[in-house]
Structure formats: structure tokens, C-alpha cells
């Protein structure tokens, strides 16, 4: 689906899909909604473009949900290195690795929570995360405990974030501060 501008309804719909296929608490559902909205906001605030694409597929036989957010903007490195504190970043995969850290953003105010939270959820879910930006590609296989870093032979103008979320319905997902959800 091609979208323009910030569209929080899309984050709501994607979170409802996750909620339907996973056993997640209300707190985690809200947190995932915020993280997906943050990933969409990153396109609007950092990429230099207003159009982006979102695809979400459910694969019941694989017990997976796949979510992809893509834009044709300037890329993560170009966005981050606008701030002097990230001027040391020399390549695209280094920028991707930095961008998923908590609090890292091209904005000076408190930001940079979305990709960090998504990656932490996928680590617990034993899912996968792949981010491609310009010539950089980083692929986290949380199910295997591996991180693969590659330089793309052909650059992709923009950024692609692809998530593979396991939807086994056996696991229970909640935030660490939601102990009351257990009882």
C-alpha cells in the first residue's frame, strides 16, 4: 500500500493484526503500535520524502507475520550524519547498526525509540529484522542469534525495514512491568 504523510490508522491496523495472531498484553500492544508509528514517523521526519510503502502478510502455515516499511528517501546514514555527533559514521551498515540503538535519532530532542523497541521485541519473539539503506544491509536472525552485515552491490535509494514475526500463539508476550498480566 502506498501512503502519504503520517497515518496512525495503519499502525493501529497492523497492531490489530499482530494482536489477533499473537498472545500479547494491552501494554505491549500499545508499545508495538507506538513503535510502528515511530517507524512511519521516521520516513516523514528523516527520509526527505512523504510517500512510503507498507506491506503486511500473514503466513499461517509458516506461523509468521511479515511486515515491510519502505521509502525512497535519503537513507539512514545521510539522515544521521546531519548531526555532528554522528559525523564519524562512514558507511551505511554502520549507520543502520547505530540507528537501532535506544535514543539514536537525527532529531536533537528525545527520540530514537521505535527501531530499538522493535528489535528488542523481535529478539524475544525469536523473529528476524532486516534493514537495507543505500549500500548497507543488516540482517538480525534472532532465532539463530546471528547478525549479518553486508554491503549491497547495487544501492537501494532509500530504506527498507522488514520484520519477520513468529505467530505461534503458544507464547505469551507482555512488558516486563506488566506482572499483573500473568495473574
Q: What is the pLDDT of residues 143-167, one digit of tens each?
A: 899 999 999 999 999 999 999 988 8
pLDDT score of 49: 82
Question: Which 8-state DSSP code applies to residue 89?
Answer: -
pLDDT score of 183: 42
Q: What is the DSSP string of 41-67?
A: HHHHHHSS-SEEEEEEEEETTTTEEEE
Helix, strand, coil percentages (3-state) for the chain, rounded to 5, are: 35, 30, 30
pLDDT band at 182 (very low <50, low <70, confident <90, very high): very low
13 has pLDDT over 60: yes
137 has pLDDT over 50: yes
**Residue 72, burial from CB neighbour count under 10 angstroms (0-12, 13-18, 19+):** middle
The answer to whether the beta carbons of residues 158 and 14 sit under 8 Å apart is no
Percent pLDDT > 90 in the chain is 39
> For 97-110, what is the mean pLDDT?
84
pTM of the predicted model as reported, rounded to 2 decimal places: 0.86
Q: What is the pLDDT of residues 24-41, one digit of tens each?
A: 778 777 877 887 887 788
Give the 3-state DSSP-derived string for 109-133, with helices as H, strands as E and coil as C: CCCCCHHHHHHHHHHHHCCEEEEEE
> For 47-52, what is the mean pLDDT?
82
Task: Please state, in angstroms and rounded to a whole number, the distance separating the CA atoms of residues 169 and 151.
Answer: 36
Q: What is the largest CA-CA distance in the chain?
A: 52
107 has pLDDT over 70: yes
CA 169 to chain CA mean position, Å = 22
Q: Which structural domains are found in the chain, ordered by start?
A: 2-173 (3.30.565.10)
51 has pLDDT over 50: yes
Amino acid at each position: 500500500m502506498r501512503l502519504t504523510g503520517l497515518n496512525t490508522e495503519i499502525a493501529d491496523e497492523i497492531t490489530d493484526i499482530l494482536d489477533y495472531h499473537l498472545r500479547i498484553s494491552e501494554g505491549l500492544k500499545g508499545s508495538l503500535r507506538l513503535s510502528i508509528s515511530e517507524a512511519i514517523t521516521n520516513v516523514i521526519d528523516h527520509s526527505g520524502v512523504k510517500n512510503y510503502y507498507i506491506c503486511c502478510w500473514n503466513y499461517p502455515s509458516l506461523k509468521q507475520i511479515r511486515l515491510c516499511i519502505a521509502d525512497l528517501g535519503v537513507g539512514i546514514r545521510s539522515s544521521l550524519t546531519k548531526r555532528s555527533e554522528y559525523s564519524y559514521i562512514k558507511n551505511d551498515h554502520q549507520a543502520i547498526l547505530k540507528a537501532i540503538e535506544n535514543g539514536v535519532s537525527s532529531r536533537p530532542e528525545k527520540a530514537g525509540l521505535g527501531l530499538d523497541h522493535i528489535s528488542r521485541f523481535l529478539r524475544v519473539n525469536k523473529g528476524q529484522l532486516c534493514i537495507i539503506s543505500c549500500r548497507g544491509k543488516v540482517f538480525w536472525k534472532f532465532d539463530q542469534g546471528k547478525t549479518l552485515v553486508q554491503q549491497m552491490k547495487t544501492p537501494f535509494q532509500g530504506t527498507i525495514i522488514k520484520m519477520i514475526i513468529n505467530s505461534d500463539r503458544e507464547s505469551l508476550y507482555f512488558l516486563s512491568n506488566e506482572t499483573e498480566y500473568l495473574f
